[in-house]
Amino acid sequence: MVDLDYANLRFHPMREADLDQVMLIEQYSFPTPWKRSMYEHDLKSNKHSRFYVVRDIAGELVAYIGSWFIYDEAHVGTIATKQEYRGQRLAEQLLAYTALQAQNETMAYIILEVRATNNEAIRLYNRLGFEQVGLRKGYYTDTGEDALLMTCRELASLSARLLIAEGE
């Protein structure tokens, strides 16, 4: 594990040039990773997409989040951290940053799905103020696993956890 100094990390909008690094993290993080073309579409053509990365002082991409801001909701579709940076609250920081951006765009809440067996992520979401509001039976087509539908309406409280600054 790498020791992080939040002062040396920055948020940036995801760019197509980031996709090689994103895809490496994606492959490690998920049983059924998103295809590169899905990211490319959202970055080029989807006016609702809000994809952000965290880079260290050397410019290395260490984590990312992808969401869509539609009507009054910020729907998180993906979030992942590079293996050696896990356990250092980067997912919390990504969600806090997304909450801040959602507030700036007058979204009312954040919503996401999480695998019903992903206890680590569920604990994180609960700690950050997310509540389960539904169950999507058989949501994950790779395993047939259910997804918990979780929301956070306390965007100000979540964004107050932010420790990382925006990049230049």
Q: Known catalytic residues?
A: 113, 125
Helical (H) or strand (E) element with 75: strand 73-81
Contacts 24+ apart (CB under 8 A), 1-4: 1/84, 1/85, 1/86, 1/87, 1/88, 2/84, 2/85, 2/88, 3/88, 4/56, 4/85, 4/88, 4/90
